[in-house]
Amino acid sequence: MDNRNTEELYSLGTISEIARQALKQLINEQKPAVPPLYEKAFYRTAISMGNSDLVDHLMAKMPTGQAATVLIEKLAFMMSGLDENMKYYRQGIDVHSEQISDHQAKIKKLVAPETWDELEKHLTGVLVANDQMKQRVVEAEQRIQEQENNVSQLQHKIRFDPLTGALNRYALDEDISAEFSRSKRYIRPLSIVMADIDYFKKINDTYGHAAGDEVLKAFVMLVRKSLRDVDNVYRYGGEEFVIVLPETPGAGGVIAAERLRKNIEKHTLKHKTDSSLKILITASFGVASYTDGDPNYHSIIDRADAALYRAKNSGRNRVEQAF
């Protein structure tokens, strides 16, 4: 591996231009230039400008998870380019074959019969070759489409928890960073809810881990049914979840959390292998909202977590708001 600094391998002008174009892309997309979004834009721009080697060099210095994310983004960009190229080739073959077919009658009138007989054989051979080539291109397009689907699945796996279908910690870091930046820049409300399923270990010990998994999935389903389209639920770890509520002040966050609490409390989950067993679940919630004094989104999460801790210590199945 080349241990030289990035600046020694790539000109400052090249890196600066990539950075400038990446920032321009975010501005055009009306997205904040927060680290997660800016990094993605930088790598995407570097690839589109023909600097894949720079991306590879930077990936070698990244944590494994982050490098995998960039690699999948790179694959998605490459697959998109291949798809367009194949479409262009196929259309070119069609145009070429159409031109030959359209001009055959004219050519036949302009040449002697014996010349035309020989020429027709060659033209027919070209048309047959074009058909064969087009078939190969169509097959290549199908393979590319399959790979694009695989890349899409990988992109989904990067952001979603495989068990519950909730967004994961990586997605939370990316999304909440953007929401925090937007709230800070435009002075807009933002609330974060920390949620924890009560007595989850007891559920696992009593009904088994398979039942515990069903409880987690049911919890996410119930939360999603109660949220707006702009809200999102993220699995934070184990039985703990984070709910991000854009454009929601503190009072609205408490109302939303209380609605979630009631919906979960009245839900009865049937045991998968023994329908006579019914599992009742409750959850505790901590709510915190953005303030001018928050230096970053971590401070909001910390306050929501402290409020959740109070809810757990005050009897569970309740909502507490951060001070």
The residues assigned a catalytic role are: 239
Q: Is 198 helix (H, G, I), strand (E, B) or coil?
A: coil
Provide the phi-psi class of 316: left if phi over 0, else alpha when psi is between -120 and 50, else beta: left
Are residues 74 and 158 in contact, defined by beta-carbon separation less than 8 angstroms?
no
First to last CA, the chain: 51
What number of other Cβ atoms are within 10 A of residue 142's Cβ? Answer: 11
Q: For residue 242, what are the contacts with CB-CB under 8 A and spacing of at least 6?
A: 172, 176, 192, 193, 194, 195, 233, 234, 236, 301, 304
CA dist list (Å): 229 to 149, 223, 226, 233, 262 = 25, 12, 10, 11, 20
Q: Report DSSP letters for 205-272, one per residue.
A: HHH-HHHHHHHHHHHHHHHHHHS-TT-EEEEEETTEEEEEEET--HHHHHHHHHHHHHHHHT-EEE-S
In this structure, how many other beta carbons lie within 10 angstroms of the beta carbon of residue 126? 13
